[in-house]
Amino acid sequence: MTKEWKLAGIYFEACTCEVACPCVFLSTPSKGECKAFVGWHIAKGHFGEVNLDGLNVAATIHSPGHMLHTKWKLGLYLDERGNQVQRDALVEIFGGRAGGHPATLASFVGEVLGVKPVPIEFSATGKERSLRIPNALEMEVAAIEGQGGAEVTVANQPLCVVPGVPSVIAKSKRVGYTDYSSLELAGTNGFYSTFSYQP
């Protein structure tokens, strides 16, 4: 029987596609493949009796073609501030074994490149989001400006990290990655929103 659990907080992502990423509409990635970088800050969360408040999680995803037709490669990064019990709980959730939307996302993964406890710095200020893992990942996105300065959002897209919540469309200010692969990006797609997951 799956443990009772719930996570809520804020998330953002950046990827190699043009704005807005066609993958979320079940189209082919802008450049034939999609490399995405995702961060979650858990404001409030638990897995059974395990408190997960304040912890961060990040993931790198590589889809070598259409995201529904090719298996993804996943690298998972867990907040080193969590103890082993907390990290095990995060692996159960984000590895897809505890059900809910993370299990849907995990069903697309064909290879796990690794799971690492690391220091993760997560920041959300105004219309900007940033995340830093020393010697691995630095990413920063900012919302694009819509009519009258309003946020531009997309809702009910068929493929998404967070269902049921409109995603703000953003653009990467910088993405630098040097772990399972190496790349530098700027001006590519980003999304951010709140999130809530449970079985």
- The pLDDT of residue 2 is above 80: no
Total structural domains within the chain: 1
Does pTM surpass 0.85? yes
Closest CA to 52 of 89, 106, 84: 89
Euclidean distance between CA atoms 160 and 87, whole angstroms: 24
DSSP assignment, residue 49? Answer: T
Tokens encoding 85: 């019990």
Print the domain residue range for 36: 5-194
Is 12 among the domain residues? yes
Euclidean distance between CA atoms 32 and 28, whole angstroms: 6
Tokens encoding 89: 């709980």
* pLDDT confidence tier of residue 1, bands split at 50, 70 and 90: low
Is 199 among the domain residues? no
Is 60 among the domain residues? yes
* 36-64 pLDDT, tens digit each: 999 999 999 999 999 999 999 999 999 99
Answer for the pair 39, 12: CB distance below 8 angstroms, yes or no: yes
Average pLDDT, integer, range 101-127: 98
* pLDDT confidence tier of residue 185, bands split at 50, 70 and 90: very high
Checking DSSP bridges between strand 72-79 and strand 109-118, what pairing results, if any? parallel
